[in-house]
Amino acid sequence: MDNNQRKLLSGPVYIDTKPNHLFSAEVAQKSHVDFNLCYHCRCCGNGCPFVEMMDFPPNSIIRLVQLGLKKEALGSSTIWICAGCHTCSMQCPMAIDMAAIMDSLRQISLEEKAKIGEPDVLAFHKEVLNSIERYGRTSKLDIMLRYKIKTRNLFSDFNVGLKMITKRKLNLIPSIIKGIEKFKELFKGKRNW
Amino acid sequence: MPNKANIDVSYFPGCSMGASGNESNASLLSFCKNIGFNLIELKDWSCCGSSSAHSVDAELAFNLATRNLAIAPSTRPLLIACPNCLLRLRQAYIKLKNDKEYLEKYEKKWGKRFEPNLEIWHFFELIDNVDFNLEKFRKLNNIKFVSYYGCMLNRPPDMRYEKNYYGFMERILSTAGGIPVRWSYASRCCGTFLAAVRPEAVTEMVNKIMKGAIDVGAECIVTACMMCHMNLEIRCTIKRPIPIFHLSELLSFMSGSPITHSSMSKHIIDPMPLLRAKGLIR
C-alpha cells in the first residue's frame, strides 16, 4: 500500500486543484456508465487483485471523477494498472462497469495529453497495437523485444524469453494476414496514443 | 467413445493459440475431432484487439473486433477458443444487437449487413451444447486437480444475463474420475499484460495462486485460458510447482487421443512425472 492509499483509508484527503465540473458528465457520456449509483462500499477495491499496485483504489477514482478532480483522476496509476479483469464489476452491488470507466479515463488522458501515471503500461499497449498494425495479428516476440528496447530493459526476462523460444512458445516469424494493406487503414489517423 | 455430433463450426483461434498456446490448440482440435465437430479456421482472421485496443481507442477496438464478425459466415457457429477474444467479440456483438448507432457504423465500415443469427460459442458452450456420454470417456485415474478460471468467467455488467459456467470444469473432469479440490484462487486474475510490464508484482500474485493450489493438496491445476497458463508457468518462482494443464489437453485424452511426449514437452513445468505416476502415459 502506498501513501495515497493509506491516506484514503485513514480519513479525508485534501487535494488542492480546481474542480472541473464538466468532467463527470464527460466520463459518463463516454463510458455509458452511471457511476453515481456508486455508494462507495469499496467492494471493488477489496476484490481487486491489483489494488496494491494502484495509487487510488477503484471507487476513489469514481469519487475523483464525481468531484471533478480531473488532474488527479487522469494522472493516477490506477487507470493504467487496471487490467480489465472485471472482478470489481462482479462484486459491485450496483453492477457498475468499472472497466468501462477506466477505459474512458485512459482514452481521455491520451486525447488531452495528460501526464501518464504508468508510462510503461502505455508503452506496452503501443507495441501491441503496432504489432497488430504491422501483421494484423500480435506477435509476442516482436512485442516483447520492441517493448524491452523502448523501456531500455533488454536483458530483464532474458531467461524467460529463452525458455519460451526453446519450448517453441514464441513464433520467430510472425504470421501475417492476407489483406494487410486494407487492414492498415483501420489505424489511419489513430496516433494520439 | 462419445456419440458423434458431426457439426461444422468456424474456428477463431486467436493470436495466443498459434504461438504460446500451440499445445492447447492442437489438443482442442483433436478433442473436437473426437467428438465430431469439424472446425474450419476462419479465413484470414485478425487480432481481436487484445487488452490494448480498448484501452486507448474505443473506435479502433470496435473495428478490430467487428472485422472478424464481418468475415464469419453466418451459416455456422463461430467457436472462439481464447476467453479474452471471446469477451471482445461478444461485447461488440451485443453492442451491434442493441444499439442502432453501432449497427450503422458497422454497416458503413464493412459494407455488409450485420448477421444477428451468427452464433458465437465459447469452448465451454460447445461442450455444453453436445449431448455426449461423459461416462464413456477415458478415466483420469483419480488425479487431484484444482480448476483455475482466472478472470474468464467474470463479465462486464452488460453481459450479466449470459449463462454462468462456474463449476463446469469440475463437473466434466470429475465424471471422468478426476477429483476436484476446492480452493480460494479459482477466479483470481493471473495478471494478464502486467506480467510483461510489472513482472515482480505478477510473480508475487502467481506464486500465491500456485501456493494456494499446493496447500489444498492438488496435484495439478487445470485452466481453460492460454494467457493464464502462460503467466502461471513463466512467472512462477516457487521451487516445486505443480503442473498446469489446459482443459483441452485433458479432454482430448479423455475422448480417446493419446497424451504425447511432444505436446507435453511444451510445458515449462514438466507434467511427465505426474502423468507417469497416475498411469496416464507410459
pLDDT at A3: 63
What residue of B is the nearest CA neighbor of A127? B52
pLDDT class for B19, splitting at 50, 70, 90? confident
Instruction: Please list every residue in chain B whose beta carbon sits closer than 8 Å to the beta carbon of residue A193.
Output: 56-57
Determine the distance in angstroms separating the CA of A57 from the nearest CA of chain B, rounded to an integer.
17
Establish if A113 touches chain B: CB-CB under 8 angstroms. no
Determine the distance in angstroms separating the CA of A9 from the nearest CA of chain B, rounded to an integer.
22
Provide the angle, in degrees to the nearest 10, between the axes of the packed helices A140-150 and A158-166: 170
B193/A124 Cβ within 8 A: yes
A85/B53 Cβ within 8 A: no
What are the tens digits of pLDDT across the range B158-188? 888 888 899 999 999 998 899 999 999 999 9
What residue of B is the nearest CA neighbor of A169? B20
Determine the distance in angstroms separating the CA of A79 from the nearest CA of chain B, rounded to an integer.
9
Number of cross-chain residue pairs from A and B with Cβ atoms under 8 Å apart: 156
The dihedrals phi and psi of A114, each to the nearest 5 degrees, come to -75, 170
Determine the distance in angstroms separating the CA of A93 from the nearest CA of chain B, rounded to an integer.
11
Mean pLDDT of B134-153: 90
What residue of A is the nearest CA neighbor of B188? A49
| A window 157-176, beta carbon within 8 A of B | 157, 160, 163-164, 167-171, 175
The correct answer on CATH 1.10.1060 for the domain covering A3-111 is yes
What are the tens digits of pLDDT across the range B111-131? 999 999 999 999 999 988 877
pLDDT at B48 over 90: yes
Best-predicted range by mean pLDDT (B28-37, B127-136, B212-221, B253-262): B212-221
Average pLDDT, chain A: 89
B49/A125 Cβ within 8 A: no
Low-confidence ranges of chain A (pLDDT < 50): none
A87/B154 Cβ within 8 A: yes
B201/A137 Cβ within 8 A: no
Q: Which residues are within 8 A (CB) of A86 and not within 5 positions of it... i.e. 6 or more apart?
A: A98, A99, B151, B154, B155, B156
Q: Report the SS3 class of residue A18.
A: coil
* B197 closest CB neighbour out of A85, A120, A138: A120
Average pLDDT, chain B: 92
A129/B56 Cβ within 8 A: yes
* B56 closest CB neighbour out of A143, A177, A193: A193
pLDDT at B161: 86
pLDDT class for B2, splitting at 50, 70, 90? very low
Determine the distance in angstroms separating the CA of A21 from the nearest CA of chain B, rounded to an integer.
24
| A window 136-155, beta carbon within 8 A of B | 136-140, 143-144, 147
pLDDT at A9: 60
Mean pLDDT of B31-59: 93
Cell numbers 516476440 label which residue?
Answer: A141
Determine the distance in angstroms separating the CA of A106 from the nearest CA of chain B, rounded to an integer.
6
Name the residue type at position A160: V
pLDDT at B40 over 70: yes
pLDDT class for B1, splitting at 50, 70, 90? very low
A183/B67 Cβ within 8 A: yes
Provide the angle, in degrees to the nearest 10, between the axes of the packed helices A158-166 and B226-235: 120
Taken as a whole, chain B contains a residue count of: 282
Dihedral sign for Cα A108, A111, A115, A117, please. positive
- Most distant CA pair in chain A, distance: 57
pLDDT at B149 over 80: yes
Taken in order of first residue, the domains within chain B and their CATH numbers are 7-125 (1.20.1050.140), 132-277 (3.40.50.11810)
How do the domains of chain A map onto residue ranges? 3-111, 119-187
Q: Which of A2-16, B55-69, B146-160, B249-263 has the lowest mean pLDDT?
A: A2-16
